[in-house]
Amino acid sequence: MAQYKEGTLVENTGAPQWGPGKIVHIAGDHLHILFRDIEGNVAKTVKANSPALRIAVSQSDPILDNLPPLVQKDGCWVVPGKSQSLQSLQKRFLHEFPAAFADPKYTLEERDYKHKAFQTRLGLDEAKDLLSRGQIKVLATKALSVLSAAPLLALFESAAFRDAMQDENAASSFFIALVALLEAPLVDSRLFDRYTDAVCSLPAARGRVATWPVATVLPFLARPDVHMFLKPEVTRRAAESLGFNLKYEPTLNWTTYEALLRMGRTYLDLLRPLGAVDFVDVYTFFFVTCGGYDNDRPTSKRMPEIVLEVGSEGGAIKLLREKNAGESYQFWIENDETALSGLLDEDDLIGAGELSSRGQRVDSLDEAFVLLGRYPWHSLDPIGVHPDLLAEVLREVKRRGGGAEEKRWITTLRNR
């Protein structure tokens, strides 16, 4: 018994298919062990004197070393949210692309446009040259062209970044920090913090610029050998499903990004037998297998609730919410932006993805109002508001449109 302690990696010689396991708790002569290659999220209970159990030769494993904190539930130790093994996700990926990362369909639909956008429309050498000559407007135009060729951002994020590029001084500081980040063979906290400071300093007239997708998209497209793209909904779902501690925080920070890079490197190594070569492949693997291909399929048996719905002759916008497995809510926008595109500036439509969509999920009503901010929603016709959130919605209407708009909403909703 003395040879075992919490954190020790072990092997079960009677079930080698389980892979290595990590002792996560010791209770008397019983060990609670989470085995890497077993589906599910519950640690197995094994007697310490089991003859099949032995200490693993290697006391390091890239997956077991990065588990999130486990919780105790009904006497068992559980990885919150873990539901998939890498093997099950690989099967799903191969269902979509039978030849894996060499599949012509994968190359055409998923890899080429991401891999070529930066190199063909800008390139690091040209970015450095334009920056050195003070050609910031040209550089900004080319950067926006990159995002148009690889539309990974949501429409409101693309619009916010386009707005920010109008401030030449802020754009210059952004590109100086971006080039320094891209030139480094390895990213560190100093370079990353300097870069995110520049991102956070970009003006944001119509929406947040300092989001993970905006901050990570250009480094990812320019240097997918070093940098990873963080799209919160998909990446968090992948980390949770696989039991990897992403240390996610919604604000830009080195701790989360370092964990993301560690997760990217871990799964790049594990996916190399299928032909993965860089973080484009890792991100796309997560996207395909962890929700990106089935965003429109229901994720819960609970029906989503309408927080608010507004409309015009061109279409409607809905803000919805849905409970997580716990008691907190997630919010998202659901709309037909093809019908509503007349409410947006023409430039906002460049570089955006599909116009008819179910938008990015966020974790608070305040963040949801930020998502709505790209539309003049407060001036549209209110169709309905959730009664429990009426006060918050009217407060936001007043903040955006003043007392007259608030009174109009109250009158319209009362008459419906």
pLDDT tens digits for range 246-286:
999 999 999 999 999 999 999 999 999 999 999 999 999 99
**Shortest CA distance to 310 belongs to which of 397, 395, 388?**
397
Please tell me the predicted confidence (pLDDT) of residue 160.
85
61 and 91 in a single domain? The answer is: no
Q: Out of 289, 324, 358, pick the residue that ends a domain.
A: 289
pLDDT tens digits for range 156-180:
788 889 889 999 999 999 999 999 9
Distance between CA atoms of 279 and 293, rounded to whole angstroms? Answer: 18
pLDDT tens digits for range 316-355:
788 999 876 555 688 888 875 444 444 455 454 444 444 4
Please tell me the predicted confidence (pLDDT) of residue 354.
42
**Rg of the chain over CA atoms, in angstroms?**
24
pTM: 0.68
Please tell me the predicted confidence (pLDDT) of residue 114.
92
Tokens of 332: 């998202």
239 and 283 in a single domain? The answer is: yes
Residue 354: count other Cβ atoms within 10 Å of its Cβ.
12
Quick check: is 296 in a domain? no
Please tell me the predicted confidence (pLDDT) of residue 355.
40
Quick check: is 299 in a domain? no
Quick check: is 54 in a domain? yes
110 and 24 in a single domain? The answer is: no
Q: Out of 225, 258, 289, pick the residue that ends a domain.
A: 289
Please tell me the predicted confidence (pLDDT) of residue 241.
85
- Which residues neighbour 92 within 8 Å (Cβ) at sequence distance 6 or greater? 288, 289
| DSSP of 190-226 | HHHHHHHHHHHTS--SSS---SHHHHHHHHHHH-TTT
49 and 187 in a single domain? The answer is: no
SS3 340: helix
Range of the domain at 46: 9-82
User: For the chain, what is the domain count?
Assistant: 3
Quick check: is 50 in a domain? yes
Tokens of 312: 């015009």
Q: Out of 64, 82, 100, pick the residue that ends a domain.
A: 82
Distance between CA atoms of 102 and 274, rounded to whole angstroms? Answer: 8
Whether 360 and 232 have beta carbons less than 8 Å apart is answered as: yes
220 and 132 in a single domain? The answer is: yes
pLDDT tens digits for range 211-254:
999 999 999 999 999 999 999 888 998 998 888 999 999 999 99
Whether 241 and 131 have beta carbons less than 8 Å apart is answered as: no
Please tell me the predicted confidence (pLDDT) of residue 340.
47
Q: What are phi and psi of 6, to 5 degrees?
A: -60, 135
Quick check: is 239 in a domain? yes
> What is the pLDDT of the chain when averaged over all its residues?
85
211 and 161 in a single domain? The answer is: yes
216 and 349 in a single domain? The answer is: no
22 and 153 in a single domain? The answer is: no
Quick check: is 2 in a domain? no
The amino acid present at 356, given as its one-letter code, is: S
Quick check: is 294 in a domain? no
- 357 pLDDT band, cuts 50/70/90, is very low
Helix (H) or strand (E) holding 398, with range, is helix 390-414
77 and 100 in a single domain? The answer is: no
279 and 131 in a single domain? The answer is: yes
Quick check: is 178 in a domain? yes
Q: Where are the beta strands (DSSP E) in 263-355?
A: 305-312, 315-323, 329-336
255 and 156 in a single domain? The answer is: yes
pLDDT value at 48 more than 70: yes
| DSSP of 89-102 | HHHHHHHH-TTGGG
313 and 278 in a single domain? The answer is: no
